[in-house]
Structure 1
Amino acid sequence: MERAVTYSVVARKKPNDLEGSAKYYALAQARGEMGIREMADRIQQMCTVTRADTMAVLISLGTVMRDGLCAGEIVRLGDLGSFQIGLNGEGSATEEEYHTGLIKKAHINFRPGADLSDILTSLSYERVPVKPKKEE
């Protein structure tokens, strides 16, 4: 299995600097996708559980994580990492003036654990052409 992260080089301008020149940056390019069925197949090959058992656990994991996050819990998956709800919105001048209408949206924060953080120190990179944009 190829272990290099593929990237393309793209020009980017600072949004607030209309007259400035663009600089070139690396943009990670995905090689494909791995869905829940493929994960179940790969897990089945590594241990004694069947693909069906693995699928059941992975699907249930999503439901349990959703329930925990909606209840305001931090969901910890051991060395894989943790998930927690975060909020974006407007501020108020005083604590007393703050109300929930100032919350504009929620998002999910992911903090990688040791298993995922460790891979970031040993990546290799391979330059590939820029992917063409999909036509609508």
Structure 2
Amino acid sequence: MGMIYLVRKKLFSTKEGMKQLYYAVQRTLQPRGGVTTEKLAQRMARRKGMGEGDVQSVLVDLPKYIEEALSEGESVTIRGLGSFNLAITSEGFEHPDDVMPGKVRVSRIYFKPDRMLVGRLRQNMNFFRYPLSKYFPHEMLRPETLERERVRPPKTPENEAKDINTVTD
């Protein structure tokens, strides 16, 4: 399939006053949390001819090993996925001698996706617009948009994902 998006208005303050532009934003048609470890393990096991339990065990343990490496000051790179890096910080002190280990803390964990992963997603991703007439006032829409969306038969919640317009460049 691809990704379904909604259109949302954003307001900007300019020298001439307020300006509004419309942007695509993600619409999720999935349970909270997305694909679970179990579901990912099923998919991987099926495609690789491995036992689902073995794959799930690796997936469950992977965060522990990433945490271990990060806690030792190392970054972690998983080819095809990306890199994990830890950032640290402390309060500001007037003298360098005052920056002691007890004052240092983890500020963030960064994930940088692999360039090839990003490239594949950009190249292969399909986008579908959720029908504007379902969430925009009809008077805001062009007549041809309303007509195009009106000719589609009503959908049930089970096949709502099929009730989309393919947007092409």
TM-score normalised according to structure 2 size = 0.60
Is 29-38 or 95-104 further displaced after alignment?
Answer: 95-104
Please name the residue that 2:18 is paired with. 20
Please name the residue that 1:54 is paired with. 55
Query: Does residue 113 of the first structure (1) align with residue 114 of the second (2)?
Result: yes
Cα 1:87–1:6 shift into 2, 3 Å: farther
Larger fraction in helix: 2
Q: Does the CA contact (< 8 Å) of 1:83 and 1:111 recur in 2?
A: yes
Per-residue deviation, residues 90-110 of structure 1 (Å, max 9, x unmatched) = 778x89498479978622221
Gaps of 5+ in 1: none
Query: Does residue 68 of the first structure (1) align with residue 69 of the second (2)?
Result: yes
Q: Does the CA contact (< 8 Å) of 1:91 and 1:102 recur in 2?
A: no
Of 124, 128, 131, the match for 2:130: 128
> What one-letter code is carried by the residue in structure 1 that aligns with 2:42?
D
- The whole-number CA distance in structure 2 between the counterparts of 1:97 and 1:127 is 57
Is 24-33 or 107-116 further displaced after alignment?
Answer: 107-116
Q: Which runs of 4+ in 1 moved over 2 A?
A: 86-92, 94-105, 129-132
- The whole-number CA distance in structure 2 between the counterparts of 1:81 and 1:49 is 24
Query: Does residue 8 of the first structure (1) align with residue 39 of the second (2)?
Result: no
Cα 1:103–1:41 shift into 2, 3 Å: same
Q: Does the CA contact (< 8 Å) of 2:86 and 2:106 recur in 1?
A: no
Q: Does the CA contact (< 8 Å) of 1:37 and 1:55 recur in 2?
A: yes
**How far did residue 119 of structure 1 move?**
1.7
- The whole-number CA distance in structure 1 between the counterparts of 2:6 and 2:89 is 31
Q: Percent identity?
A: 23
Mapping of residues 82-93 of structure 1, within 5 Å = 82-87=83-88
> What one-letter code is carried by the residue in structure 2 that aligns with 1:35?
T
Is 96-105 or 123-132 further displaced after alignment?
Answer: 96-105
> What one-letter code is carried by the residue in structure 1 that aligns with 2:25?
L
- The whole-number CA distance in structure 2 between the counterparts of 1:90 and 1:20 is 39
**How far did residue 128 of structure 1 move?**
1.3
- Give the secondary structure class of the aligned counterpart of 2:80: helix
Cα 1:44–1:24 shift into 2, 3 Å: same
Q: Does the CA contact (< 8 Å) of 1:90 and 1:104 recur in 2?
A: no
**What is the aligned residue count?**
127
> What one-letter code is carried by the residue in structure 1 that aligns with 2:61?
S
Gaps of 5+ in 2: 136-169
Q: Does the CA contact (< 8 Å) of 1:91 and 1:98 recur in 2?
A: no
Which has more radius of gyration? 2
